[in-house]
Amino acid sequence: MLLSSATEIPVGKNWLYEVKYDGFRCLLNWENETPTLLSRNGNVLNKMFPEIIHFSETIYEKVKPFLPLKLDGELVYLANDVQSTFFTVQLRGRMRNHSVILDQSKELPCHYIAFDLMEINGESQSNHTIEARKKILQTLFKSMKLPLSVERENPNLIQAIDVYKHSKTVWNKVQVGHGEGIVAKGKSSKWESDIRTGQWQKIKNWKYVTVILTKYDQRNGFFHGSIFNREELVEVVTFKHGLAEDEKKILSNLFLSNGIASEKGTWRLEPSICVDIATIDFDGKHIREPRFYAFNFEKNPEECTWRHMQRQLFPLPERVQITNPDKPIWPMVGVEKDDYLLYLQKVAPMILPFLRDRLLTVIRFTHGAGKESFYQKNTPEAVPEFIMTKEVEDTRFLLCNNVESLLWLGNQHALEFHIPFQTYLTNKPLEIVFDLDPPSVKEFSLAIEAAVRMKAIFDQFGLASYVKTSGRKGLQVYIPLPLNAFTYEETRVFTQFVCTFLCEQEPQWFTTERLIKNRNNKLYLDYVQHKEGKTIIAPYSPRGTEQGLIATPLKWNEVNESLRPEQFTIHAVLERLTKQGDTFRDFRHDIDGQAFKKVLKELKELVINES
């Protein structure tokens, strides 16, 4: 069943709404243990998306009572809950090397988002209305214990799409999350195969990018547009769709009259005329689905830069008011406030799970990084309505639970986000964190050595562990804990044991001495810091140093002699996320409470025996 394009959202009680994800439309045919992923062109995609197949096989017993089963949905790579990164899905679809595909499926796992039910227990559902099919789909997923809502963080790789009754609700989420658009479906519509129907309408969330006209190919009628990346003119689009006949004549005459014939049938123009192009996305090299929108005579070609295009592709939420976007924040590395806000927008899906419901402490640098700063716990009197707060012992803490709050703080020059080890809903830690603090960055190798040794201990205990840079001179090692399972007193038994053990093994390298003057240039293993009321720098938070480094989650195989803190600048981390995804993605789902309980019991018995 195919979608019709629309420019206006149909409204009324006879419509249902859902997010339109930018991925591969795909049927999931499930008859035996291994299902088949079938593209619209009839191609089997099982080999390209092994993570979906493997996940399906692990839940076979739950699904078995409902087979044969057929779902309609989208293969996506979730940048957030409402946006799929199409070129990641597209790249996977083009891969043929099995080992490369497996590596990609682990680093950049895709999801299958089901939005329709075609068949259950071998019985076709096509005669039911979409409203009825949605209800059956929700009941089915509830029975199979699969998510009824799209969640990027959820390790269940098959999820049901969210259904909305009000278009404004979903449209606002799509705009804030930079999704492709929404789909409106008539409640009474029934399945019509291969028919483009007005009962299913797609409304795109267009972005508008300003480019410089640079080339006209008279042979195929396409115009070419470019932007400046530093001093170089870089082509980002070819287009002809969206042009009215008179606009097409104006543009072609402009090139033929003022341009330079460069090769057979093509004409080039010096940077002089700008136009606005409607697009749904940018794949890193080219604007996707470009359509001519308007001439832009107010824009100078010099203003059409890479930075300007990024901001147009990622517009700020309407509710967030920004001041002085050109203000230098990290002048040493050329990062202005607008660059910083763009960074926060892009890492929001990764950092917000760690900030959510935690009593936040920020460090604000009102004149930019490396200059005067101050800690802020208490929320100012006047804050926007989207800011959530929590009063604890006469302090009105700010809760950073959404992207608008994150950007508002960024606009306030909050460059560091420090969080407690628990949410305000519990008095027990959600994770253990070891802070590995060398005397200076010159002794960073000591932090590497301590982290590797800790990993060996945790592996032997059967505990999942994660590691990140501190954003300064050290490393921080995490162990996720179940919710409300262990007290700080209990975790202290474990942290003290690990740190003491390492100091006994290598006393020339490591110390638990709190006084800096008594550490004798050794790495400080801080187990005292892990307690209620203390904080740690959040994953993906910047630091207020002049270099603009990020507290960056790592893969364990990166923790070796070649690792250096200065590798992880804002720009490097954004590129890193594109290539290898979020290494803390499974953090809250990689928890074995029983393993830690067993370790804790053994350590307590050891303490009793020694005493």
Q: 189-236 pLDDT, tens per residue?
A: 998 888 888 999 999 999 999 999 999 999 999 999 999 998 899 999
Q: What angle do CA 184, 189, 190 make, to 5 degrees?
A: 130
Residue 572 belongs to what H/E stretch? helix 570-580
pTM, to two decimals: 0.94
Task: Please write the tens of the pLDDT for every residue from 51-86.
Answer: 999 999 999 999 999 999 999 999 999 999 999 999
Per the CB < 8 A criterion, the answer to whether 77 and 89 are in contact is: yes
- List of domains in the chain: 2-203 (3.30.470.30), 207-313 (2.40.50.140), 328-420 (no CATH), 431-531+549-597 (3.90.920.10)
Q: How far apart are CA 10 and CA 8, in angstroms?
A: 6
Reading phi first (left if > 0) and then psi (alpha if -120 to 50, else beta), residue 571 is in alpha
pLDDT tens digits, one per residue of 472-517: 999 999 999 999 999 999 999 999 999 999 999 999 999 999 999 9
d(CA 38, CA 29): 7
Q: What is the dihedral of CA 22, 23, 29, 34, to 10 degrees?
A: -140
Beta carbons of 47 and 98 less than 8 angstroms apart: yes
Residue 439's Cβ-count burial label (10 Å; 0-12, 13-18, 19+) is: middle
Q: Contact, 368 vs 327, CB < 8 A?
A: yes
Catalytically active residues are 20
pLDDT at 610: 66
50-58 and 98-107 helices cross at what angle (nearest 10)? Answer: 70
Q: Give me the percent of the chain exceeding a pLDDT of 70.
A: 99
pLDDT digits (tens, 9 = 90+) for 270-309: 999 999 999 999 998 999 999 999 999 999 999 999 999 9
Beta bridge partners of 328: 336
Alpha-carbon gap, residue 407 to 178, rounded angstroms = 15
Mean of pLDDT values over 461-470: 96
Out of 164-178, 414-428, 577-591, which region has the weakest mean confidence (pLDDT)? 577-591
Instruction: List beta partners, residue 437.
Output: 524
User: What was the pLDDT predicted at 438?
Assistant: 96
Of residues 312 and 605, more confidently modeled? 312
Instruction: Convert the pLDDT of each residue in 410-448 to its tens digit.
Output: 999 999 999 999 999 999 999 999 999 999 999 999 999
Longest CA span, the chain? 94
Instruction: For residue 352, count CB atoms less than 10 angstroms from its CB and return exposed for 0-12, middle for 13-18, buried for 19 or more.
Output: buried
Which among 135, 99, 194 has a CA at the least distance from the CA of 16? 135
Structure confidence by residue, pLDDT tens digits, 314-337: 999 999 999 999 999 999 999 999
Q: Is the dihedral of CA 456, 457, 458, 460 positive or negative?
A: positive
User: With 70 as the cut, is the pLDDT of residue 603 above it?
Assistant: yes
Do 358 and 420 meet the contact criterion of CB atoms below 8 Å apart? Answer: yes
Per-residue pLDDT at 605: 83
Task: Give the tens place of pLDDT for each residue, 92-107.
Answer: 999 999 999 999 999 9
Q: Is the pLDDT of residue 611 over 60?
A: no
Order of strands, sheet of 15-20, starting from the edge strand that comes earlier in the sequence: 2-5, 196-204, 181-186, 15-20
Q: Per-residue pLDDT for 42 more than 80? A: yes
Q: Which structure tokens are listed for 610?
A: 């020694």
Q: Is the pLDDT of residue 544 over 60?
A: yes
Decide if 417 contacts 377 (C-beta within 8 A).
Answer: no
Token pair, residue 324, equals 């002085």
Give the mean pLDDT of the chain.
95
Instruction: For the beta carbon of residue 321, count every other beta carbon within 10 angstroms.
Output: 10
CA distance 568 to 420: 24
What is the chain's alpha carbon radius of gyration, rounded to the nearest angstrom? 27
Say what the pLDDT of residue 93 is.
96
Q: What percent of the chain has pLDDT over 90?
A: 93
- pLDDT, tens digit (0-9, with 9 covering 90-100), for 367-398: 999 999 999 999 998 899 999 999 998 999 99
Region of 570 please: left (phi>0), alpha (psi -120 to 50) or beta. Answer: alpha
